[in-house]
Structure formats: structure tokens, C-alpha cells
């Protein structure tokens, strides 16, 4: 097929549309049970509710004295209230007696309150004294009912959902799972992602440089991005630009992994074999061009419930294609209900002089200054370059059209994670 016919058959879809077409084929993978200590960063595959309220007993919020609030009514400097100390409760202990009128019990933060007590006076708010050999406390301020007391269920009511399917397990979720008595979490297993670098010019990193050839960096970049997205990379041997070799490797990926990603050979050139492969694809062709730069040649197909995502070979375009398409797919394979990366608006710190036919996802940085968000798009960003990726923490989305974008323009920023 010649270049012109390849170009002719390509119909560009928007980034959102391309993503939705992919996500329609990204059903969650299976579930596995992992110990809580290994659950960090995984996506929950179940709803977990608290069987018991938290706390499940009335608990002191301060080191001090449990009192009956009614006893302290009217306490002031000129009319102090004297209460008899009838015992002490340490954390983990159960009070031996109930609190009768006129009594106080020494309690520490987290200790169970005795029956009859409904407030805690802080140590700093009482004076300890002895009356006829018995310990007493003097209060010069009243304690309101409920003061410094954590009521039953005041943190988590019984029945509250603490984790939902698709929720990423972070420190807060893991702490709550432990609190509700779980030792393990049911999470989606890590999707396996086959990564196939294509190109007769590719050398392994250890190979000495020879004219015309370059070292294969995309496979390592994609493996790192795959891990950051919570999946397991399965790098396949790099394939030269040969249809049979690439087709065989793609088959291997589709049959053994949940998602198959190729890089390179997807443009209109003579040896762009992935383009040919998708042209003859016997599954569903989801798209073969996206309205974006870099990576407009990004293409995708689905077959028997598996996705093939064909990313550009240019490192910058390959990186962007992964973040905008592979990452949301990998998250959806783990039950994440979100349909794309988060984004926010910021002011462009410097003019971006280059006009674009499509939105341009430029690797850049964002920051906040006096409460205003700014973003800087690297002017020297080219999809063939790798250096602009160093230190980049976002894509700055330069809108299409016009003669460039002026400094101060509000632009969309897509933060990069991991
Ligand atoms: N006539 C046209 N030529 C090109 C067009 C176009 O529209 N018309 N688009 C250009 C753009 S934009 C891009 S992006 C690239 C896309 O190229 P491919 O996806 O076909 O990728 P390759 O041709 O295989 O390689 C491109 C470039 O990237 C290097 N590469 C490839 N694989 C790796 C790897 N694993 N690690 C590091 N670098 C890699 C490769 O050597 C090439 O330099 O097409 C433009 N051309
Ligand atoms: O799609 Mo190429 O990188 O778009 O520059
Ligand atoms: Mg090419």
C-alpha cells in the first residue's frame, strides 16, 4: 500500500472519543486476595462495610477526669466544684464501677468511660487535692455534656461503607480495613501488559552504537509507565519491521496478556508495518488517527475482548499515547470507574509560538504562585526528543488553531503521576 492510500483511509477522532472507544473494551480483570501489608496502591474489588461502630465504646478524647456534666454546672472561680476521685482507667481497661453523683474518675485519652460519666475535664482544667486523706479534684469551669467524649460510632457508624470497588487502597483505606477487622483485601489482579517495540533500527541498551541504529528506549519507558499505572509489564522481544514477525508477536501478546501495546511503525512510511497489520486486522478497528499532537498516528483495535494499542515510535508521542490511552485502560481493567486523567486549568507562563492543527500535549511543569496556577510548556518539545521528559510533571494542552498561544492564556493541564 502506498503512502497516499494509507493517509486517505485514516479518519481522526478526538482524544476523548478515542479513549471512550478503548474503555468500552476494558472490562475488569479477575480478583485476588492480598494481605493488607501488600495492598497499598491496589484497586479494591469489593465493598467493605464496618460491622461495628468506631469507636465501639464511649472513649475519652483527653487525659483528664471523667465527670457527670450535671455535677459541674455553675462551676466557676468563685464557685468551684469539688468531686471525689474514685479510681482510674488506663487505655484498654474497663472501669470497675459506675460514676455516682459527686464523683470523678481519672481517665487517659482513648480509655473507656465509666457508666454515668458524660464529660471529661482535661487535666489542665482541674486542680488535684486531698480532702481528709481522699483524692479530690476541683473544677473552676463547667463541663458540657459530651465534652471531650468520643461517642459510640462518632467516627464510623456501623454499616458505613469504608471501601468501594474500584477505589485505590491508600493509607486511609488500609487503616479502615484493619479497623473493621480485615487482614486481607480483595483487589483486582494486576493486568498483564505486553509491550512490543518494533523497528529494524533497534538495539538493546548494552549494544555498542553502530551507524543507523539506536537503542530501544521505548520498551523501558513503557514498562515503567505500566508499573506506575499498577500493572505488570511483559516485554516481548523487539521485532524488526517485518509483518510476519510483528503479527506473531502481537498474537502472543493478545493471547497471554490483558492489553497489548506496540510502539513504532504506525505512520505512513514504507516500513510502518503496524499500520499494515491494523489495515488487515480481523477484529474491530477502534481508530487509526487521533486529533492530537504528538501521537496523531496512535491506533487501536479490539479482538475477542482484548485490546491492541499501537503507539507511535517517536518517544515523546509514545509517552503521551500511553498516558492518555493506556493508563486509563489499565485503570479500567482494575475496575477504576473514572474515564480519563484528571485535569485543571492554569495560566500559560510563556507564549507558545507554534500554531497547531490539533491540541498539542506538551511535556511541562506546573506550579502555584500567590494563589494562581501557572504552567510552562517546554518550547523545545519535539516528539522525537527525550530530554523534554526530564522533570516534566504534566502535559500542558496547547489548544489548536490560531498563530500560537499567548502567555497568560488559560490552558488545560493534565498532571502526570508516578
Ligand atoms: N510522511 C509522513 N511522515 C511522518 C508523519 C506523517 O504524518 N507523514 N508523521 C510523523 C510523526 S508526527 C510521527 S510521531 C512519526 C510516527 O512514526 P511511527 O509511529 O511510524 O514510528 P517509527 O517510524 O517506527 O519511528 C519513529 C521514530 O521513533 C524512533 N523509535 C521507534 N521505536 C523506538 C524505540 N523503541 N525506542 C526509541 N526510539 C524509537 C525511530 O527510530 C524513529 O526515529 O512519523 C513521522 N513521520
Ligand atoms: O505524532 Mo508525531 O509525534 O505526532 O509528532
Ligand atoms: Mg514510521
What ipTM does this complex have?
Answer: 0.98
DSSP labels, 53-77: -BSSS-EESSSEEEE-HHHHTT-BT
Ligand 1 within 6 A of CB of 214: yes
Ligand 1 within 6 A of CB of 197: yes
Q: Could you tell me which residues come within 8 angstroms of residue 37 by beta carbon, excluding any fewer than 6 positions away? A: none
Kindly give the distance from the C-alpha atom of residue 341 to the centroid of ligand 1, in angstroms, as a whole number: 25
Instruction: Looking at the CA of residue 297, tell me the nearest atom of ligand 2.
Output: 1
Class level of CATH domain 33-54+154-188: alpha beta
CATH fold label, 59-150: Molybdopterin biosynthesis moeA protein; domain 3 (2.170.190)
Kindly give the distance from the C-alpha atom of residue 411 to the centroid of ligand 1, in angstroms, as a whole number: 27
**Rounded CA separation 276/281 (Å):** 8
Q: What secondary structure, in 3-state letters, does the chain show?
A: CCHHHHHHCCCCECHHHHHHHHHCCCCCCCEEEEEHHHCCCCEECCCEECCCCECCCCEECCCEEEECHHHHCCCECCECEEEEEEEEECCCCCCCCCCCCCEEEEECCCCECCCCCCEEEEHHHEEEEEECCEEEEEECCCCCCCCCEECCCCCECCCCEEECCCCECCHHHHHHHHHCCCCEEEEECCCEEEEEEECCCEECCCCCCCCCCEECCHHHHHHHHHHHCCCEEEECCCECCCHHHHHHHHHHHHHHCCEEEEECCCCCCCCCHHHHHHHCCCCEEEECCECCECCCCCEEEEECCEEEEEECCCHHHHHHHHHHHHHHHHHHHCCCCCCCCCCEEEEECCCECCCECCCEEEEEEEEEECCEEEEEECCCCCCCCCHHHCCCCEEEEECCEECEECCCCEEEEEECCC
Residues of the chain with CATH 3.40.980.10: 3-30+189-334
Per-residue pLDDT tens digits of the chain, which is 418 residues long: 455 454 457 999 999 999 999 999 999 999 999 999 999 999 999 999 999 999 999 999 999 999 999 999 999 999 999 999 999 999 999 999 999 999 999 999 999 999 999 999 999 999 999 999 999 999 999 999 999 999 999 999 999 999 999 999 999 999 999 999 999 999 999 999 999 999 999 999 999 999 999 999 999 999 999 999 999 999 999 999 999 999 999 999 999 999 999 999 999 999 999 999 999 999 999 999 999 999 999 999 999 999 999 999 999 999 999 999 999 999 999 999 888 899 999 999 999 998 899 999 999 999 999 999 999 998 788 999 999 999 999 999 999 998 889 999 999 999 998 5
Residues of the chain with CATH 2.40.340.10: 344-415
**Rounded CA separation 59/111 (Å):** 5
Class level of CATH domain 344-415: mainly beta
Residues of the chain with CATH 2.170.190.11: 59-150
Pocket-testing residue among 18, 293, 320, 363, ligand 2, by greatest number of atoms within 8 A of Cβ: 293
Kindly give the distance from the C-alpha atom of residue 30 to the centroid of ligand 1, in angstroms, as a whole number: 35
Pocket-testing residue among 8, 199, 292, 383, ligand 1, by greatest number of atoms within 8 A of Cβ: 199
Nearest CA to ligand 2 atom 4: 294
pLDDT of residue 385: 94
Q: Per the structure block, which three cell numbers stand in for 340?
A: 480519563
Residues of the chain with CATH 3.90.105.10: 33-54+154-188
Kindly give the distance from the C-alpha atom of residue 205 to the centroid of ligand 1, in angstroms, as a whole number: 19
Nearest CA to ligand 2 atom 2: 294
pLDDT of residue 340: 87
What is the three-class DSSP state of 103? strand
Length of the chain, in residues: 418
Q: Per the structure block, which three cell numbers stand in for 409?
A: 492564556
Helix (H) or strand (E) holding 49: strand 48-49
Q: Which CATH number fits domain 3-30+189-334: 3.30.930.10, 3.40.190.10, 3.30.70.20, 3.40.980.10?
A: 3.40.980.10
pLDDT of residue 7: 45
Instruction: Looking at the CA of residue 197, tell me the nearest atom of ligand 1.
Output: 35
Pocket-testing residue among 314, 322, 395, ligand 2, by greatest number of atoms within 8 A of Cβ: 314
Amino acid at each position: 500500500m502506498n503512502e497516499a492510500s494509507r493517509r486517505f483511509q485514516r479518519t481522526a477522532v478526538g482524544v476523548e472519543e478515542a479513549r471512550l472507544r478503548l474503555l468500552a473494551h476494558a472490562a475488569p480483570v479477575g480478583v485476588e486476595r492480598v494481605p493488607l501489608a501488600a495492598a497499598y496502591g491496589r484497586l479494591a474489588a469489593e465493598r467493605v462495610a464496618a460491622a461495628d461502630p468506631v469507636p465501639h465504646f464511649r472513649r475519652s478524647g483527653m487525659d483528664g477526669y471523667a465527670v457527670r456534666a450535671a455535677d459541674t454546672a455553675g462551676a466557676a472561680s468563685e464557685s468551684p466544684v469539688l468531686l471525689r476521685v474514685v479510681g482510674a482507667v488506663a487505655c484498654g481497661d474497663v472501669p470497675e464501677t459506675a460514676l455516682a453523683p459527686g464523683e470523678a474518675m481519672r481517665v487517659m485519652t482513648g480509655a473507656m468511660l465509666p457508666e454515668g460519666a458524660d464529660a471529661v475535664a482535661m487535666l489542665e482544667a482541674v486542680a488535684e487535692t486531698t480532702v481528709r486523706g481522699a483524692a479530690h479534684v476541683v473544677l473552676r469551669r463547667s463541663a458540657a455534656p459530651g465534652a471531650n467524649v468520643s461517642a459510640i460510632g462518632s467516627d464510623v457508624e456501623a454499616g458505613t461503607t469504608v471501601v468501594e470497588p474500584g477505589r485505590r487502597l491508600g493509607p486511609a483505606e488500609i487503616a479502615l480495613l484493619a479497623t473493621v477487622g480485615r487482614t486481607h483485601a480483595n483487589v483486582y489482579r494486576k493486568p498483564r501488559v505486553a509491550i512490543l517495540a518494533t523497528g529494524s533500527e533497534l538495539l538493546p541498551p548494552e549494544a555498542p552504537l553502530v551507524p543507523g541504529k539506536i537503542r530501544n528506549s521505548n520498551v523501558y519507558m513503557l514498562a515503567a509507565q505500566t508499573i506506575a499505572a499498577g500493572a505488570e509489564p511483559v516485554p516481548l522481544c523487539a521485532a524488526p519491521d517485518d509483518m510476519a514477525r510483528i503479527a506473531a508477536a502481537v498474537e502472543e501478546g493478545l493471547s497471554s496478556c490483558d492489553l497489548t501495546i506496540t510502539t513504532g511503525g504506525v505512520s505512513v512510511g514504507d516500513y510502518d508495518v503496524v499500520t499494515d497489520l491494523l489495515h488487515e486486522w480481523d477484529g474491530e478497528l477502534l481508530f487509526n488517527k487521533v486529533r492530537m499532537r504528538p501521537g496523531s498516528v496512535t491506533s487501536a483495535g479490539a479482538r475477542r475482548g482484548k485490546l491492541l494499542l499501537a503507539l507511535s515510535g517517536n518517544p515523546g508521542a509514545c509517552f503521551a499515547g500511553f498516558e492518555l490511552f493506556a493508563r486509563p485502560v489499565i485503570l479500567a481493567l482494575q475496575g477504576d470507574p473514572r474515564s480519563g486523567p484528571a485535569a485543571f486549568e492554569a495560566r500559560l507562563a510563556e507564549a507558545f509560538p507554534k500554531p497547531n492543527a490539533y491540541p498539542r500535549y506538551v511535556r511541562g511543569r506546573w506550579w502555584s504562585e500567590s494563589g494562581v496556577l501557572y504552567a510552562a510548556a517546554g518550547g523545545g518539545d519535539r516528539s522525537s526528543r527525550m530530554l523534554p521528559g526530564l522533570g516534566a510533571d504534566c502535559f500542558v494542552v496547547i489548544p489548536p488553531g490560531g498563530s500560537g498561544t499567548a502567555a497568560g492564556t488559560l490552558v488545560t493541564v493534565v498532571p502526570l503521576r508516578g
